[in-house]
Amino acid sequence: MNATAKLDEYIPVVGQAIIDDLKLLAERLAQKHVLHVNSTAVGGGVAEILSRMVPLLGEMGINTKWEVIKGGDQFYQVTKKFHNVLHGRPDEVTPADFEIFMETSRKNIAEMNTDYDIVFIHDPQPIALIQKKGQNKWIWRCHIDVSKPHPIVWAFLKEFIVRYDASVFSAPSFSQQLPIRQALISPSIDPLSEKNRELSPEDVDRVLAKYQISRDKPIITQISRFDRLKDPVGVIEAFLMVRKYIDCQLILAGGTATDDPEGLQVLAEVKEKAADNPDIHILLLPQNDFEVNALQRGSDVIMQKSLKEGFGLTVSEALWKVKPVVAGNVGGIPLQIKHKYSGMLCNSVEGAAFALKQILNSPAFAKRLGENGREHIRNNFLLTRHLRDYMLLFLSLDYAEDLVYL
């Protein structure tokens, strides 16, 4: 990640006027002190985004601080359980879990200074800090899919949520009936990061050569963890349907932690399904943004055939690289793809195979999908838009009406 990028470095990507607008907004927030709180300083999408946003907000003159709550293993086991059941996975949540959660929360409440104009809390882990709310404004940012939340856990969290001044969700389907304002703010990709920056054709060739992938036939790629919700087996099934008619190859690339038994099991299933097919390349990639970037750029079609998805930023990453994308119609993916305009949405293996065939057989259509997709990402899913939305959100805290003259 290019951690040193300054605001003006984004001008060649989004244009001077967009940056000027950001500065106009920042002028209105110059006196504000903002605190972001989440549960981890490294790893995960929230930390990745905050590590870019906090310096840029600071550069624009908004005093921004980022704090991380403290918690032990037990606390994080409970919050992981909350996370899973909020996503719809069955698990038993006990009164002891809530007590562990509250015990750690009480310690953080006692220790953390929240004396800022705006306190911005990310995800459920630090949610109970709201008990420290004074006259200042508090925002709760939900980064996870809560379209069908576990009723008991949601009821527990809701007791805290309703005390905030505003909430933020990543996709319309995640919104709930709440008495507070709910903003829709999508996450974003950083066009200057290692994962998204421009690469030379030589860089792309070198990475493909490293994995012994030739470019003599079209490449279809899905880059995701080996996780059932990403449906890698379904991707192979769709590929095999297409392969009957079109000579092409498939890359399934992703990581799996050695301590994740389910991931290893899914990987075994994938390998069994691939059955030594020479046109299916299964790559176990360690965290390597440069190689992910090169594999995406070297592909002809990108897939993200998720069955459930928080937001699915891999779709934005692929569209930014002007690639036609076939993706599951779930979570935040429909925000990134308007079917047949900026990509293809699918609800089944057969649908995915059909979309792949359409794309591979119609280069002009594929090109238009990619180009539309790139502009859609430029307008809506880059870090600069995310910065603008956060500043608008901060400003909105002082107004109840829908139309504000500043």
Partner 1 sequence: MASDASLLNKTDEKESGLKKAKLPFHFYTRLHLTVLTGLKAANLTELLEHLKEVPGSSIYHHTHRFLQQHQYLNPEPPNDFAYWTTEVLGEKKLGEGISSIDVVQFSTIRDLRNRLIEVISNYVQQNPLSQKKFVNDGEEFYFMKSLSFILPTHDFATDLAEFIEILKKITVDSIYFHVFEARLRLEKKTNDFSAWIEQEFGETDLARKLSNLDPYTHTLEDLRRIIISIVEKRLRRK
The contact set with partner 1 (CB under 8 A) reads 15-18, 20-21, 24-25, 28, 147, 169, 172-173, 175-178, 181-185, 329-330, 338-342, 347, 368, 372, 375-376, 379-380, 388-389, 392-393, 395-396, 399, 402-406
Task: Give least dist CB 336 to partner 1, A.
Answer: 11
Structure token digits, residue 249: 């190859």
Q: At what angle do helices 16-27 and 383-396 cross, to 10 degrees?
A: 20
Contact 233, 272 (CB under 8 A): no
Q: To the nearest whole angstrom, how small is the minimum distance from the Cβ of residue 396 to partner 1?
A: 6
Q: Which of 306, 275, 236 is nearest to 87 (CA)?
A: 306
Query: At 57, which amino acid appears?
Result: L
CA distance 197 to 290: 9
Structure tokens at 191: 């066009």
Nearest-angstrom CA–CA distance, 91 and 337: 33
Least distance (Å) from partner 1 to the CB of residue 342?
7
Minimum distance from CB of 406 to partner 1 (Å)?
4
C-beta of 42 vs 406, nearer to partner 1: 406
Using the minimum distance from each CB to partner 1, give the nearer residue, 108 or 336. 336
Nearer to partner 1, 245 or 399 (CB): 399
Total Cβ atoms within 10 A of residue 212: 7
Output 2 or 347, the one with its CB closest to partner 1: 347
Q: Could you tell me if 36 and 168 are in contact, meaning their C-beta atoms sit under 8 angstroms apart? A: no
User: 320, exposed or middle or buried, with CB in 10 Å at 0-12, 13-18, 19+?
Assistant: buried
Distances from the Cα of 372 to the Cα of 80, 220, 322, 338, 365, angstroms = 37, 19, 8, 10, 11
Residue 142, CA atoms < 13 Å, CB-side half-sphere:
30
**C-alpha R_g of the chain:** 22
Rounded to the nearest whole angstrom, what is the least distance from the CB of residue 238 to partner 1 in the complex?
A: 19
Measured in whole angstroms, how far is the alpha carbon of residue 336 from the centre of its chain?
A: 11
Shortest spacing between CB 86 and partner 1, in angstroms:
16
Q: How far is the CB of 126 from partner 1 (least distance, A)?
A: 22
Output the smallest distance, CB 68 to partner 1, in A. 27
Q: Which is nearer to partner 1, 251 or 344 (CB)?
A: 344
β-strand 280-284 against 301-304: which pairing, if any?
A: unpaired
What CA–CA distance (Å, rounded) separates 252 from 317? 16
- Residue closer to partner 1 (CB basis): 279 or 371: 371
Q: How far is the CB of 155 from partner 1 (least distance, A)?
A: 17
With beta carbons less than 8 A apart as the criterion, state whether 301 and 218 touch: yes
Q: Which is nearer to partner 1, 3 or 403 (CB)?
A: 403
Closest to 380 in 3D by CA, of 184, 199, 222: 184
Residue among 120 and 169 whose Cβ is closer to partner 1 = 169
C-beta closer to partner 1: residue 259 or 402: 402
Cα–Cα dist 100/308, whole Å: 29
